[in-house]
Structure 1
Amino acid sequence: MSSTEETTEAAELRRTVAELAERVRTLEAASAIRTLHHKYGYYLDKCLYQEVVDLFSDDGEVVFAGGVYQGRAGVERLYLHRFRERFTHGHNGPLRGFLLEHIMMQDVVTVSPDGRTACARIRALMQAGIHESAPELRGRTSFEQWWEGGLYENRYVLDDGVWKIKRLGYFPFWHAEYTKGWAHTPPLNAMIATRTYPDDPLGPDELVEGFEFFPATDVVPFHYPHPVTGKRS
């Protein structure tokens, strides 16, 4: 083999190693993102709201039911002051008789070329309710038992080697009171934000126009292009 052939072969080998290393990095990042989001769901199931907040970057934010909660203060306002105070009266952790089960599925994860950021689209199906043996919990939820269907469009950032949530966008599209089903449950429009903080002490920092519950069927924009046509919707 000539020296020229050896040089060409070595260059091709280096390119192959570099390409494989990049693929491994992307696959590991995608796996880490899926794991991060599923851990988020498990914490949320058990009302571990402080643990949920700690998954966010310092400049992270949440989009929820027509509002944007910005920065660590906004994230804490939503999870610690709104959710935790309402559902568990400030207790960080599960309460006997209060059911929350977030089933996460159909995740599509896209890692940026530089491996520093990522996006994910994930479907959620929730079962929730108050057991009859815990009447003291009644009044904290809209229904005694219900289903909820929603969609996440999230962004993540690699912060000092640790993946964190940069922007969690949760769109709870429909609710179904268990005895009525989704066809007969009125939209929970009272959940949609109409005032911002501090006018509303538990409100978002910014309002998002156009959010509606089922029977509205709006499409949350996809973070990824169509895999065949390359177009964005």
Structure 2
Amino acid sequence: AVGSETGGGGGRGARAGTPAPAGFEPDASPTAGHEAYPAFQLPPLHFANPAEGGTPFGDPAPAAGNSLDALLAAAERELALVVAQDGAENVSNAYGYYIDEFLWDETADVFATNGEKELSYIGNYIGRERIRASLVARYGRGGRRATGLTLHQKVAPVVTVAPDGASARVRTKLFQLNSSRDGDGSFISGIYENTLVREDGIWKIRKMDLEYVWNANYSSGWAKVAQRAQPRVAPNVAQDFEPRPDGPLRGQSAAPFPDVAPMAFHYVNPVSGRRPEELLE
């Protein structure tokens, strides 16, 4: 396109291209003619203009042709989806931290006003204040216990954002460790399926669904769990617990392993399109 001496620069020292020396002639002519600076030459491109010649993969088509307003609107929609994905995942992770620290007010506050949460082995509670009351009733306000440590590791998130960016679904795998100074600790594995919404501009959990898969102590490990030997809360605990739940648990009441129970999904198989036995709506 341009060649010049360093001292002269493109303004004063530009020179025309030089032909190939004898013995080094090209084997074929150029695929396109060209001229050297100061003549203007637009080199050929192997792709279409991404703004005028097509829509980038995954972006919604601009509603009003190629106008700047349409392109800006498309960018804003894309940004809203990214913000929604990060916000939904962050709130789900915050929940895990708060319950590890036995911070029940903070835990309840990550739920929407009409949020729903399953209290393990007990039932489903509807409403932020009902969730708060159930957590305090079960665990008290003494904070994290000095005799043990609980860690909820929530990994492998699958985030599905609604087209309008106002809600999202998050599926994560739970690997929980519970230590105990006075006895054997335990491992718990499960699946979270959360629905999240924006409430007054802040991401909140609208509905939390938790299915345990297996539960085992440190000594034996999950490989030695006996048939129907999974820890279960005594029936009278669930029957006598106050406040009473607003509804039953969905699915298994306790970890079924070594039995296998179908897990619910909020999406179909992304490769085959096969629907799970239970598709969460």
Q: Which range, TM-score by smaller chain?
A: 0.7 to 0.9
- Aligned mate of 1:119, from 163, 169, 194: 169
For these two proteins, the number of residue pairs brought into alignment is 208
Q: Which residue of 2 aligns with 1:228?
A: 271
CA contact under 8 A between 1:65 and 1:192: conserved in structure 2? no
CA contact under 8 A between 1:154 and 1:169: conserved in structure 2? yes
CA contact under 8 A between 1:193 and 1:203: conserved in structure 2? no
Matched, 1:26 2:67: no
Q: Which amino acid aligns with 1:206?
A: G
TM-superposed CA distance for 1:202, in Å, is 4.7
- Measure the CA separation in 1 of the matches of 2:134 and 2:95: 15
Higher strand share: 1
TM-superposed CA distance for 1:49, in Å, is 1.6
CA contact under 8 A between 2:108 and 2:129: conserved in structure 1? no
Matched, 1:62 2:103: no
CA contact under 8 A between 2:134 and 2:242: conserved in structure 1? no
TM-superposed CA distance for 1:164, in Å, is 0.5
Matched, 1:144 2:200: no
- Measure the CA separation in 1 of the matches of 2:118 and 2:102: 19
- Measure the CA separation in 2 of the matches of 1:55 and 1:210: 24
Q: Which residue of 1 aligns with 2:33?
A: none
Q: Which residue of 2 aligns with 1:176?
A: 216
Q: Secondary structure at the match of 2:66?
A: helix
- Measure the CA separation in 2 of the matches of 1:209 and 1:40: 20
TM-superposed CA distance for 1:158, in Å, is 0.4
Q: Which residue of 2 aligns with 1:97?
A: 147
CA deviation map 1:37-84 (0-9, x unaligned)? 1111111111112211111111111124452122234312432111x2
Choose 222-231 or 100-109, whichever is displaced more: 222-231
Identical aligned pairs, as a percentage? Answer: 29
Q: Which amino acid aligns with 2:247?
A: E
- Measure the CA separation in 1 of the matches of 2:206 and 2:235: 22
- Aligned mate of 2:132, from 66, 76, 96: 76
- Measure the CA separation in 2 of the matches of 1:121 and 1:218: 17
- Measure the CA separation in 2 of the matches of 1:19 and 1:26: 11
Higher helix share: 1
Larger Rg: 2
Gap regions ≥5 residues in structure 1:
132-137
Matched, 1:217 2:260: yes
- TM-score where L is the length of structure 2: 0.66
Q: Which amino acid aligns with 2:213?
A: F
